[in-house]
Amino acid sequence: MEPHELTLAQALELLAKKEVSSVELTQALLARMEATEPSVNAYLTTTPELALEQAQAADQARAKGEAGPLCGVPAGLKDVLCTQGVRTTCGSKILENFVPPFDAFLVARLKQAGMVLLGKHNMDEFAMGSSTENSGFGPSHNPWDLDAIPGGSSGGTAASVAAGTSLFSVGTDTGGSIRQPASHCGVVGMKPTYGRVSRFGLVAFASSLDQAGPITRTVADAAAVLQVIAGHDPADSTSAPQPVPDYSAALGRGVKGLKLGVPAEFFVEGLDQEVEQSVKAAMAVLEQQGAELVPISLPHTDYALAAYYIIAPAEASSNLARYDGVKYGMSVRREEAGLLDMYLDSRSQGFGDEVIRRIMLGTYALSAGYYDAYYGKAGQVRTLIRRDFDQAFEQVDAIVGPVTPSPAFGLGQKVDDPLQMYLSDVFTLSTNLAGLPGMSVPCGFSAKGLPIGLQIIAPHFAEETILAVGAAYQEATDHHHKRPPL
């Protein structure tokens, strides 16, 4: 097995046995990046010198018996997470040269655990998108088919893990931005409960929805990364002061006796036949392992898309007001132009079309005379959606269904049709509105060889249940062992 094909667990085992050094592993992944990046474009910034320094330090720490839980493993991070001294662009021209003076909380945790940073991953600008085509620096490509999208907004992150240029990574999920690209790229992507992972240093898109989580090759690897990044952070007022369990202990629980809900609203007209067949086959595997499949209803699912596209743009409008060309980021100054001209020039030239579209939507929804009719009403619908899940979880332990309506579509296919693009997240964004944890696990392939994912959703802070279900499914199948022919 080549170094870039390793799982996180396999890499840690080889490092512990001293069968490979962190420097050797890092050099192998840097070589893999050099070979694949021209066609995949998963990275916006690479840090080879820093990575080799950190790898050398990791080897020294391991020799002294001071290895952290991720010591010496090379990985990249989504470029929405602040990294001290390393460029953080959020996929936007307006932050093209921004270098944060501090690390995000979870980045500091990963460094303490011994991660080796290879660079920052490509993404839809400010995490607004479902295909990575909204990046200010060109789209990422799906390693399974270079003419297909990798998903978004964590498209570069999922593509990197699939391509073997990161042995694990951390993305962010506002409406499906971890699970959807994980599904399209044939890897595991987990969105934890809102508040489980600190948002300090995560550049905000929609503050009540954003949550960071692991993208890995296996469920066991996701558990290991979540163990490091989860936990209370006093610097984040939305960080939950909940104890962090031993996630790896949940991996061997199995699904015997678990009730898994199957929402009628997730199997509707418009769902691709190949996706439906793969997901139902995955559910049958779980049933064979002792789980009980229970038909359920989430009656307000039809309203989730509309509610999301009022709440998320409204919060984005407020959060992105800080990019004014004054304090940091891109500043366009014309001679004899006034302050208002500077604001207009900096924002119109710095932001891409999709970000401008959402700022305008959000500003309108928050404007005088429309706040109650739009944002207020969307908040009420959000409450109804959360109640749907609460009632469902009175009957079942977890919910299973598709991640996306179809396998990855072609680059450029939906870029001029925002509504069709928004529908890509129709099965994922309701969990963000409700603050629930969810995961995508590879469960099959289309006739064209494109990956398909199974979504697993659980009650608040029940990540252990998701990990148990996902691990049991991977124990019985081999989809996660397959690698793209890149």
Helix 8-16 × helix 219-229 angle, to 10°: 80
CA distance 97 to 207: 24
482 is catalytic: no
* Catalytic residue of the set 130, 131, 140, 153: 153
* Catalytic residue of the set 21, 22, 78, 198: 78
Q: Which of 191, 176, 188 is nearest to 221 (CA)?
A: 188
Q: Which of 256, 234, 74 is nearest to 168 (CA)?
A: 74
Q: Taking a C-beta distance cutoff of 8 angstroms, is the pair 39, 141 a contact? A: yes
Let me know the angle formed at the C-alpha of 247 by 241 and 253, rounded to the nearest 5 degrees: 130
CA distance 281 to 273: 12
Residues 6 or more apart from 84 whose CB is under 8 A from it? 100, 101, 102, 103, 107
* Catalytic residue of the set 92, 177, 239, 278: 177
78 is catalytic: yes
Reduce the DSSP state of residue 105 to 3 states and report it.
Answer: helix
207 is catalytic: no
Residues 6 or more apart from 351 whose CB is under 8 A from it? 92, 93, 94, 125, 320, 323, 359
Task: State which amino acid sits at residue 404.
Answer: T
Question: Active-site residue numbers?
Answer: 78, 153, 177
